[in-house]
């Protein structure tokens, strides 16, 4: 659903005839049914994340598409939240910015309590689940799939947490998650090759493996990625970099070699 923005020749997203301008309609007078549907306009593609020895690692590309046009190429889709978590989003970028505003308000009022406790990833995940589900029930969803990861000291020591919530409010916690196309292309690799207590280097290698497959096979991904990690020391969002692709297969050079003139 996310990143599958409709498009027409000419690049912009396809807004069906008779629809309301961006946002939603007002309630009809006299108790008529309110319909506030939305269409995603500027969308980000997959986010992948996994737990490793010291915490959680999350990665995504830095592109945002406007329908079938690659409109923005330096978008940060992973942000730190409070001291203990990072959040990554795919789907409508403006809704992600709105969610970040909600989280700012949340972390600010939590800080003002000044009680020595701060919100951990589990609490942030739960808060976002409520927000997403309630918006969905009002037919006005925030068109995102969110990945929340973090580490916080708990009764059993440092507890790593990784969870996902999507635009209809489906939420779960797992050792490795992916959104959008990552569900089809990255999850099979993660299920086969993830194991407990990977080192940071191993985790980055596994994540890069998945990002490369997504680069080859997802049309809305670009070759500019950001990796972020969160450990007990805090969050780090690394500067963007690109991966090396390989196109040198002999079969790519001359596909019609076996039959000159075939199509």
Partner 1 sequence: MTGSMDLPAKGGFDFDLCRRNNMLEKNGLKLPGFLKTGTTIVGLVFQDGVVLGADTRATEGPIVADKNCEKIHFMAPNIYCCGAGTAADTEAVTDMVSSQLQLHRYATGRESRVITALTLLKSHLFRYQGHVSAALVLGGVDCTGPHLHTVYPHGSTDTLPFATMGSGSLAAMSVFESRFKEGLTREEGIELVSDAIRAGIFNDLGSGSNVDVCVITKGKTEYLRNHQLPNPRTYASSKGFSFTKGQTEVLSTKIIPLKQKVEVAEGGDAMEE
Q: Residue 183 Cβ, how far from partner 1 at the closest point, in Å?
A: 9
**Which residues does residue 57 pair with via DSSP β-bridges, in sequence order?**
50, 229
249 forms part of the interface with partner 1 (CB under 8 A): yes
Compare residues 116 and 255 and give the one whose CB is closer to partner 1.
255
Q: Rule CB under 8 A: is residue 262 a binding residue for partner 1?
A: yes
Cα–Cα distance between 223 and 183 in angstroms, integer?
A: 19
By the rule CB under 8 A, 247 interacts with partner 1: no
Contact 128, 146 (CB under 8 A): yes
Q: What is the dihedral of CA 137, 103, 225, 231, to 10 degrees?
A: -120
Catalytic residue set: 37
Total residues belonging to the chain: 263
Site for partner 1 in 156-195 (CB under 8 A): 181, 184-189, 191-192
Build a one-symbol-per-residue string for 217-246: x at contacts with partner 1 by CB under 8 A, - elsewhere. x-----------------------------
Q: How far is the CB of 203 from partner 1 (least distance, A)?
A: 15
**Minimal distance, residue 189 CB to partner 1, in Å:** 5
Verify binding: residue 210, partner 1, rule CB under 8 A: yes
Q: Is the Cβ–Cβ distance between 176 and 194 less than 8 Å?
A: yes
Closer of 57 and 185 to partner 1 (Cβ): 185
Q: Strand, helix or coil at 192?
A: helix
128 vs 86: CA distance, rounded Å: 13
Give the total of residues touching partner 1 (CB under 8 A).
25
Kindly provide the residue ranges of all beta strands, DSSP E only, lying in 22-156, ordered along the sequence: 42-44, 47-51, 56-61, 64-66, 69-72, 78-81, 85-92, 144-154
Q: Does 213 bind partner 1 (CB under 8 A)?
A: yes
CB-CB neighbours of 257 under 10 Å? 10
Please give the span between the terminal C-alpha atoms of the chain, in angstroms, as a whole number: 35
Task: CB nearer to partner 1: give 130 or 217.
Answer: 217
Stretch that binds partner 1, among 121-129, 154-162, 231-239, 249-257 (CB under 8 A): 249-257
Smallest distance from partner 1 to CB 91, Å: 19
Residue 50 interacting with partner 1 (CB under 8 A)? no
Binding site for partner 1 (CB under 8 A): 181, 184-189, 191-192, 209-210, 212-213, 216-217, 249-252, 255-256, 258-259, 262-263
């Amino acid at each position: 659903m996310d990143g599958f923005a409709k498009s027409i020749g000419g690049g912009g997203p396809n807004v069906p005839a008779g629809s309301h301008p961006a946002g939603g309609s007002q309630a009809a007078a006299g108790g008529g049914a309110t319909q506030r549907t939305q269409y995603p306009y500027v969308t980000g593609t997959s986010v992948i994340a996994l737990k490793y020895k010291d915490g959680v690692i999350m990665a995504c590309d830095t592109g945002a598409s406007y329908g079938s046009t690659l409109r923005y190429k330096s978008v940060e889709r992973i942000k730190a939240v409070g001291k203990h978590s990072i959040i990554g989003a795919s789907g409508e970028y403006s809704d992600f910015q709105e969610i970040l505003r909600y989280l700012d308000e949340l972390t600010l009022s939590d800080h003002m309590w000044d009680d020595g406790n701060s919100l951990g990833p589990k609490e942030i995940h739960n808060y976002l689940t409520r927000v997403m589900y309630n918006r969905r029930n009002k037919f006005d969803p925030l068109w995102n799939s969110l990945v929340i990861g973090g580490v916080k000291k708990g009764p059993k020591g440092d507890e790593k947490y990784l969870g996902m919530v999507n635009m209809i409010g489906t939420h779960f916690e797992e050792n490795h998650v992916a959104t959008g196309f990552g569900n089809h292309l990255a999850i099979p690799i993660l299920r086969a090759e993830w194991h407990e207590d990977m080192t940071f280097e191993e985790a980055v290698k596994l994540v890069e493996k998945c990002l490369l497959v997504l680069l080859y096979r997802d049309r809305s991904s670009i070759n500019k990625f950001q990796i972020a990690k969160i450990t007990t020391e805090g969050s780090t969002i690394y500067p963007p970099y690109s991966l090396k692709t390989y196109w040198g297969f002999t079969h790519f050079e001359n596909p019609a070699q076996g039959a000159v003139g075939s199509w």
